[in-house]
Amino acid sequence: MNRVWVTGANGQLGRCLQALKKEDPSFCFTTREQLDLRDIAMVAQFVEQNRIQTVINCAAYTAVDAAEIYAEAAYELNRDVVANLGRICKRFSVRLIHLSTDYVFDGQAYRPYPTTAACGPINVYGRSKWEGEEALRALALPNSLILRTSWLYSVYGSNFVKTMLRLGQLQEEVQVVADQVGRPTCAEDLARFIVTQLLDFESSQTETYHYANAGLCSWYDLAVHIMQNSKSACRVAPIPASAYATPAARPYYSVLDTERTQKDFKVRLPYWNSSLTRCISQLQATG
């Protein structure tokens, strides 16, 4: 039995993985309250005592704007904790599936970023995630991978889709940035990909893959789709990022090239708009 440990179990992806695997006795899930990953001794003990063979690290500091102010906390979780987790995985010969982000890129490209493209994060969150990636690559963990994804949403937690649904009920108009483009990704699709494709992944070192839903759009396009699908009368007005001040800069173009993933795992990636329509229906059905 492959003993799998999912960290960040209360997060969006963690909860999607729970929805798929909670009843599977080979899986265990921990929240921050149950096991704070900053406690290295506890992490090592947990891995050893539970004879963990695979870790899916969904825990992260994901508050992009807050990271600009609380940079230390972001680096602690996204870089230092990841490096420690990697060392523990190496010591106990554990496979690590680590999640990362499109925000490791600078957004100046004009075609999708392959996994081999140079990174150049433009905010603290992106830099802290990238430094976490680099720490893992330096460890060269066998059978392990860094899985970058982008613009995650789900029925759980807070995300752009749920924010727009809420604003769509409250406001007559919402202004949304139209010059930042990416690939919205349904966390449920991602969770399914992880459990069906990655648990017996083999490699001699830590590999990098991209998983995102197919197609691409701007935040504005995404908001329009959300309002239309939820039958909201709220107007969506396109604005440039320069007109929407945020503490963190966001990349203009952070489209992940998923070709390597499609080729190596022989998978087709669902289109962002069909997965999004399904998620909106789920959210509306549950009120």
Ligand X SMILES: Cc1cn([C@H]2C[C@H](O)[C@@H](COP(=O)(O)OP(=O)(O)O[C@H]3O[C@@H](C)C(=O)[C@@H](O)[C@H]3O)O2)c(=O)[nH]c1=O
Ligand Y SMILES: NC(=O)C1=CN([C@@H]2O[C@H](COP(=O)(O)OP(=O)(O)OC[C@H]3O[C@@H](n4cnc5c(N)ncnc54)[C@H](OP(=O)(O)O)[C@@H]3O)[C@@H](O)[C@H]2O)C=CC1
Q: Give the residues lining the site for ligand X (CB under 6 A).
A: 62, 64, 101-103, 150-152, 160, 163, 174-177, 180, 219, 241, 244, 246, 250
Cα 30 to its chain centre, rounded Å, is 17
Q: Which does 74 bind (CB under 5 to 8 A by kind): ligand Y, ligand X, none?
A: none
Structure token digits, residue 212: 């995102």
CB of residue 149 to ligand X, shortest distance in Å: 7
Q: Do 175 and 122 contact (CB within 8 A), yes or no? A: no
CB of residue 112 to ligand Y, shortest distance in Å: 15
Q: Which does 43 bind (CB under 5 to 8 A by kind): ligand Y, ligand X, none?
A: none
What are the residue numbers of the active site? 125
Strand positions, DSSP E, 102-234: 145-149, 152-153, 173-177, 181-182, 185-186, 207-210, 217-218
Q: Which does 180 bind (CB under 5 to 8 A by kind): ligand Y, ligand X, none?
A: ligand X
Q: Which residue has the tokens 């982008």?
A: 150
Q: Tell me phi and psi for residue 237, to 5 degrees.
A: -105, 125
Q: Which does 10 bind (CB under 5 to 8 A by kind): ligand Y, ligand X, none?
A: ligand Y
Q: Do 55 and 96 contact (CB within 8 A), yes or no? A: yes
Q: Which positions touch ligand Y (CB under 6 A)?
A: 7-8, 10-14, 31-32, 36-38, 58-60, 62, 77, 99, 101, 129, 149-152, 157
Q: Are strands 173-177 and 152-153 parallel, antiparallel or unpaired?
A: unpaired
Structure token digits, residue 265: 């795992």
CB of residue 217 to ligand Y, shortest distance in Å: 14
CB of residue 258 to ligand Y, shortest distance in Å: 13
Comparison of 69 and 237: residue with beta carbon closer to ligand Y: 69
